[in-house]
Amino acid sequence: MTIDLTVDDAGAGQRLDALLAEPLGSRSRAARLIDDGMVHVDGKVVPKRHKVVAGQRIVVQEVVEAAAPADVGATVDFDVPYEDEHLLVVDKPAGLIVHPARGHMTGTLSQALEGRAAGGREDWRAGLVHRLDRDTSGLLVVAKSDAVHETLKAALQRRDITREYLALVEGRPPAKAGTIDAPIGRDRKVRTRISTDTDVPRAARTHFALLEALPGTTLLRVTLETGRTHQIRVHLQAIGHPVAGDPEYGRAGLLGLQRQFLHAARLAFPHPVTGEAVAIESPLPADLAAALDRARGRG
């Protein structure tokens, strides 16, 4: 198998072996393949300590993987509110990982979509146009061909794909609507976190509007202009109003939540083939609806 990927903004600044730990299953395996000359960055062999730059192309050749079980994604449960011969929209539940990553090599959405989704350079995330964090629920668009995948990726770059989220946050933002314009990247001290305190800042813009003011919390509609890793969670924490229940950037367990109160509730885009407007909405899952009731004083 060959892995062919392009470094995105979230990966920029990482060591090569650390970046490849996810698709290859472990950092030690990545380091071994780099040392063996099986990894090329923009066509060149570089050391494992090489710090990657956004836009660089990384190719891993002759990677031999153990065969995955045929039913590797068979138990994955998700809804498909829209599908045609060109694409599908998935309503991802919380807890479901979008594609294989270190420590989670099976039971992912991309594996469950094998034979149904296509497009993109990486077979291990075929058809995926964007992603959601493991414990963020909601809507994702998935392509069924290379042509559709390329068109959707281009639409995402042009910001022609609208991604709206519902977020319950701690406290009350100072305005009914606003924009958070703050570059983010890998945190200087804690490399597993994203923050505004970073050596490799990437432009990030998040728009929010107040939907409901509650005692101690606020329900917001949040729209992404850019799509950095953990962007909404980091931006809301940066202005002093972290997402309720967020175990990484806020207070875990708030309102009885087992995850952050963040749901990709609406997805809208021009169809990549017909040009017709596609707009899909997803209701709040039961756990978030129950937390919202508690926030309103009903639970």
Residues that are catalytic: 133
CA dihedral (143, 14, 227, 213) positive or negative:
positive
